[in-house]
Chains A and B, each alone.
Chain A
Amino acid sequence: MTIQRRKLKNKAINYIILMAVAVIMLYPLIWMVFASFKNNQEIFQAALIPSKWTLSGYINGWKGSGQYTYATFFKNTFLMVLPMVLFTVISASFVAFGFARFQFWGKKVFFAIMMACMMLPNAVMIIPRYIMFKDMGWLNSYLPFIIPCIFGGGSFFIFMFMQFFRGIPRELDESAYVDGCSAFMVYLRIVMPLAKPAVFSAMIFQFMWSWNDFFGPLLYINSVGKYPLALGLRMSMDVNMSVSWNNILAMAIVSVLPLIVLFFTAQKYFVEGVAATGIKG
């Protein structure tokens, strides 16, 4: 009886800790949602729930810079992110298939280089990349983001696909080869259909990272008409500073809404993807 009671007490304590941490962690997000429905004066009052709900933040915020609304910024973000996601999945899985399934000349060295690239600090390559893209006339377009995705798509995704492919039995490949399949057909018809979870994980992560990316667009995009959301939001902040915080908050929510929807519909792949390869912070 006492043991049972102690167990119950422990359980209650656990739940209380879990709840408390959850509230502290999510407070900024909860606050953000409520505050976006407040009017501008009320944002700086301690009360969480708005006394008068208003949509003016959303309506005024959406207008953006006047010349360009958030519709443009959304369109631009999709124009940038969707090709990145598509090419990353195709290219990274293709390369990973080569690494996971074949022996070839220099494989160990190539693999070591790939893993090392994961730890290579970006900071050291920013400047020459910028100059290179400038010389090629790629500035103010989405090519600096999309083209690298066509060529490998980054070590993280290659490694993630590799880890997944390792779990697919080789006997399947071999029986396909016996039936006269080429290596490419094995990749397309056997391995990829079985790797759907990895494909989803890769899509989600690339979507999330490129959606949130700020530094890249800051460097490469310089006309407002091509701004993705991250830059649009910062511009609103600079323009509206100290004037209409509710507009900015409302647009901040709108800009992460696709991420939140994605997270809740596909959260299984989020957690699994991180756990499977476990990179990136």
Chain B
Amino acid sequence: METNIKRRKAIINWINKNKGLFFILPWIIGVAWFQFYPFAKSFIYSFTNYTLLNQPKFVGLTNYIRLFTQDMEFWPSLRVTGIYALVVVPFKLAFALLIALILNMKIKGIGLFRTLYYLPSILGGSVAIAVVWKILFMRDGAINGLLAYVGIGPIDWIGDPKTALLTICILSIWQFGSSMVLFLAALKQVPQSLYEAAIIDGAGKLQCFFKITLPMITSILFFNLIMQMINALQEFTSAFIITGGGPMKSTYVLGMKLYTDAFKYYKMGYASALSWIMFFIIICMTLLVFRSSSAWVYYEDGGDF
């Protein structure tokens, strides 16, 4: 009898102490249901020949081996994705930082420019803009019309394998708004006194930028770099709408290959293996950046996450 009461007291005590668990319960269910379960399941699928029609049968490493050695699309697709990320991420960050630096100046009407510069990022991911991009960059589209004034072209932006990927890259770089806003917030945190001291010591503008500004915003740079990289390696919509992966697979990014294998040919097991390779690449790149961060990222609070 007494032990019963004691136990009940202990339980009530535990519940009272762990009230927070009640609040995060929906999230725990959500994560288990929509993240962990699919995550584990795709790993299992990747070792099967599941096609939605048959029962999944374990085939060992066949999918992976076939991807690496027999699939004619895999390596070119990986290359295209790599080029895409290598072009988009640095340019996007550089533009975002450059514009943030300009917007950080105390000039009248700067709020208006901030709004205007952010606008493309609001709309950029939508199908509507991808459609506009397609029309703008067509052979007889408005971009070539403008270029004709300066005597260039006409360039077959979307039809030529050499420029199709570039066209998609430009669309992505164009949406630098959210990185820019983050940089802007970071720039505002840099103490003015540092600049004043530097100027007294005779530092020039460039010196101020490389010796003060850049080191002080590395934590945001780090964050932007990681998020943009993860996004770039999974690119899908713009390639799907604008070029459909072509011409000659020159924009056939891994995201497109994943979609085609899984939802056009229903090779679920095979596509799962591909998704795990993508996951592995993304994780490796992220860890690489994390590892290197101690060398170049400066945290005011000593880096406690």
Contact = CB atoms under 8 A, between A and B. Distances in A.
Contacts of A1: none
A35 to B, nearest CB: 8
B164 interface: no
Interface stretch (B60-68, B71-79, B195-203, B226-234): B226-234
A101 B231 contact: no
A25 interface: yes
A15 B107 contact: yes
Contact of A126 (B132, B237, B240, B262): B262
B289 to A, nearest CB: 11
B23 A98 contact: yes
Main SS of the interface on chain A? helix
Contacts, number: 265
A278 B178 CA distance: 8
B160 to A, nearest CB: 18
- Listed from nearest, the 8 A-B pairs whose CB atoms lie closest are A98-B23, A151-B30, A102-B20, A46-B145, A152-B27, A128-B41, A252-B128, A104-B20
A104 B18 contact: yes
Interface stretch (B2-10, B275-283, B292-300): B275-283
Given A94-B26, A123-B255, 9 more contacts: A25-B117, A46-B148, A95-B24, A95-B26, A128-B38, A148-B30, A212-B125, A245-B135, A263-B119
A85 interface: no
Interface stretch (A16-24, A50-58, A62-70, A194-202): A16-24
Contacts of A234: 127, 131, 241
B117 A21 contact: yes
B105 interface: yes
Contacts of B193: none
B23 A280 contact: no
A14 B110 CA distance: 11
Interface in B3-59: 17-24, 26-31, 33-35, 37-39, 41-42, 45, 52
A26 B118 CA distance: 10
